Amino acid sequence: MQRYSKIIVATLTTLTAFTGFALAYDLSHYDTNLVWQLNRQVDQAISDTSRSPEFMEKAATKFSSLVDTLSTDPRKQAIMKSVFEHTHNQLALATDAQTRAFKKSFVSAYGGELQGDPFELRLQRCVQKFDMVNTIAKKHNFPTALILATWFMESSCRMANPDNGDGLFQILSNHYEPGPVTDADLESQIEDFINFSRNKRRWFHRNNPDRQIVLTHKLWDIESLESQGALYNSVGSKITAWPLRATNEYYNRGNFNLEWKSSVKDGMITAFIRLVKWELENR
């Protein structure tokens, strides 16, 4: 962090020292060379510094908003804009690379003993809506695979509300008219699911302030997934347990390994792993 901060500060100091003639957004050859040198420093800082995807995303957002407030001098503004656009793009690439590496590591750690059909028909239905669901998940900073895996568990990723009126995600407190749904209906129910899940999580955190369920668009862990499944389906352990256990552990763990082999269907975590693996291979 210190090295990265020093480079950015040095960049700002260098630009502040310029007092030459202002060339309204038309960079000279010298200016262009300066931008190139500063961009190389940015690249080195990013490549040398190990960062979480969450940090990279926040840094990119800050950089993109900061450029407009740095200087009123047209020349300095033009130079800074070039440097920060480059920085933003490089941070985005680094974020994508780190996120992909994280997903590969997760699948490698937990996907080696999965049982049953590698990718059954019901999961095939889920990924037909992957791009749409991924856009919604990114907007709400929620794991794409968790939305799809829960949809799979609750209504087999069908585009139709079940007859019981509890919807695609089987939220008992809501009523959804049985029958076919549109993409707009699906988006609305996904948002209901995310809000419902986060309310459950807040309740858990109030009772367990030292435990954090980490489920974002780019980061998660196996304990948080286990606890999410238990909170969503039915908690079968003490509320102070970590991770929480579902009353029916097959809800989370079906086909996770030989111990949890199921002839009925994958559990939520198993489906989650298969979906992340599918994303790595197809997106």
Tens-level pLDDT at each residue, the chain (283 residues): 444 444 444 444 444 444 343 445 577 877 777 777 777 776 666 665 555 556 655 665 555 555 555 556 777 777 777 777 776 666 666 668 889 999 999 999 999 999 988 888 789 999 999 999 999 999 999 999 999 999 999 999 999 999 999 999 999 999 999 999 999 999 999 999 999 999 999 999 998 888 889 999 999 999 999 999 999 999 998 888 899 999 999 999 999 999 999 888 999 999 999 999 999 999 9
Question: What length is written for the chain?
Answer: 283
Per-residue model confidence (pLDDT) at position 19: 37
The pair of structure tokens assigned to 87 is 């920085």
Could you tell me which residues are beta bridge partners of residue 220?
Answer: 215
Q: Based on the number of CB atoms within 10 Å of its own CB, is 254 exposed (0-12), middle (13-18) or buried (19 or more)?
A: buried
| Helix residue ranges per DSSP H, 208-249 | 222-233
d(CA 60, CA 57): 5
Cα–Cα distance measured from residue 186 to residue 155, given in angstroms and rounded to the nearest whole number: 12
Three-state SS for 180?
strand
The one-letter amino acid at 241: A
- What pLDDT sits at residue 177? 97
pLDDT at position 67 = 54
- Please give the pLDDT value at position 97: 85
Handedness of CA 130, 133, 137, 142 (dihedral sign): negative
Predicted local confidence at residue 48, as pLDDT: 58
This model's pTM is above 0.85: no
Query: Using CA of residue 190, residue 192, residue 107, residue 259, what is the dihedral sign?
Result: negative
